[in-house]
């Protein structure tokens, strides 16, 4: 597995409240990656996303064991999300300025055979394979609920006045549950994790086109960020790209 990441403040925000991380995890050629998009007050969002990323990864390493089934990995990720939520909620109780702070989260544990993905909020995971691009996660947002009810179209959601309102996040409440998904991976498949700063400026098919055409992940992320900025980049933009590659194919990397 090979992984790249990038984050940028965008063109309109005064602070980058996104946080991301990735690292080797457990079995050989397995990686864990997480992207969080913070919200709430001056520096509160940044603190929330930072706590979420660090706590999530710390809890993963504390709970992982060999020969875990996909169901066990899913349960482990969900518990790590609960622990991250508890850490943010506890920190928010310590200072009034941090009350209500929160963050989205999308995370993946990926091996050459499959990935287990979890999410809270509207940060997304996409699977890119031979058949094209598919969004794996479901947004926990007002506009996603309106789309599912048939009240608006996905195109209308992009400019809807409530497009930034999410219905689930880590931090504001003392309990939270994540959604969990399992995705089979073939050689050459990619996973793309991102904050909504990318989604509001790029269509799914554009994500696919850029990733497929780029020479490597670093170039793909640079081009996606450039695309977002060319369209105003109204929010922070964070992207992690995971590519399923054989060991022999990356000896020079």
Listed in sequence order, the residues at least 6 apart from 107 whose beta carbon sits closer than 8 Å to its beta carbon are: 32, 33, 34, 35, 56, 77, 81, 117, 118, 119, 193
The rounded distance, in Å, linking the Cα atoms of 38 and 102 is 6
- Split at pLDDT 50, 70, 90, the class of 157 is confident
Whether pLDDT at 174 is above 60: yes
For position 234, what pLDDT does the model report?
93
Domain assignment of residue 71, given as a range: 2-250
pLDDT, tens digit, 9 for 90 and up, residues 76-114: 999 999 999 999 999 999 988 899 899 999 999 999 999
- Split at pLDDT 50, 70, 90, the class of 250 is very low
In the block, tokens 């789309």 appear at 147
* Spatial CA neighbour of 126 closest among 116, 117, 113, 135: 135
For position 251, what pLDDT does the model report?
37
pLDDT, tens digit, 9 for 90 and up, residues 19-28: 999 999 877 7
For position 247, what pLDDT does the model report?
55
pLDDT, tens digit, 9 for 90 and up, residues 210-243: 999 999 999 999 999 999 999 999 999 999 999 9
For residue 216, report the phi and psi dihedrals to the nearest 5 degrees: -155, 180
Whether pLDDT at 61 is above 60: yes
Q: Count Cβ atoms below 10 Å from residue 137 Cβ, excluding itself.
A: 22
Question: What pTM was computed for the model?
Answer: 0.93
Task: Please state the domain count of the chain.
Answer: 1
What's the CATH number where 48 sits? 3.60.40.10
């Amino acid at each position: 597995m090979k992984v790249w990441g990038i984050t940028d403040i965008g063109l309109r925000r005064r602070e980058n409240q996104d946080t991301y991380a990735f690292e080797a995890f457990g079995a050989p050629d397995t990686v864990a990656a997480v992207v969080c998009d913070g919200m709430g007050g001056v520096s509160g969002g940044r603190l929330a996303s930072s706590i979420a990323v660090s706590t999530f990864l710390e809890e993963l390493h504390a709970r992982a064991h060999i020969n875990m089934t996909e169901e066990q990995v899913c349960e482990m990720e969900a518990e790590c999300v609960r622990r991250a939520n508890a850490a943010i909620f506890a920190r928010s109780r310590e200072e009034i300025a941090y009350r209500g702070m929160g963050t989205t989260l999308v995370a993946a544990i990926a091996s050459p055979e499959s990935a287990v993905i979890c999410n809270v909020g509207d940060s997304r995971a996409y699977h890119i394979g031979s058949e094209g691009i598919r969004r794996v996660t479901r947004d926990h947002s007002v506009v996603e609920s309106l789309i599912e009810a048939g009240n608006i179209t996905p195109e209308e959601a992009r400019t809807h006045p409530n497009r930034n309102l999410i219905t689930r996040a880590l931090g504001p409440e003392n309990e939270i549950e994540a959604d969990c998904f399992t995705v089979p991976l073939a050689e050459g498949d990619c996973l793309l994790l991102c904050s909504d700063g990318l989604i509001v400026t790029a269509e799914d098919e554009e994500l696919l086109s850029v990733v497929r055409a780029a020479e490597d992940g670093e170039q793909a992320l640079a081009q996606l960020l450039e695309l977002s900025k060319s369209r105003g980049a109204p929010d922070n933009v964070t992207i992690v790209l995971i590519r399923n590659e054989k060991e022999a194919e990356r000896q020079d990397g």
